[in-house]
Amino acid sequence: MQQQNTTPGIVPLDQEHRTALPTREAAYHLNRKMQTMHIWACKENGPIRPTRINGRLAWLVTDIKRVLSGEIAQ
């Protein structure tokens, strides 16, 4: 049985077709606050680093999946 997503606007990672996510969605999948994600980006000390697209943070789905699988320590 597949788990249903209860958060509106958030696509489960296994169904995600985009290559990068905005901070809000990345934070949701990693179970972190947006503030934590912003600190990781600013200090460049988190387990993953975002790319910047037109001044906005974009978190690679492949990086998020690697963190969740345990390849990268949180």
pLDDT of 44 reads 94
Percent of the chain past pLDDT 70, that is, above it, reads: 89
Query: Which 3-state string (H, E, C) describes 6-72?
Result: CCCCCCCHHHCCCCEECHHHHHHHHCCCHHHHHHHHHHCCCCCCCEEECCEEEEEHHHHHHHHHCCC
- For residue 72, is pLDDT > 90? no
For each of the domains in the chain, give its residue range(s) and CATH number, in order of start.
15-69 (1.10.1660)
pLDDT of 1 reads 47
Average pLDDT of the chain, as a whole number: 91
- For residue 27, is pLDDT > 80? yes
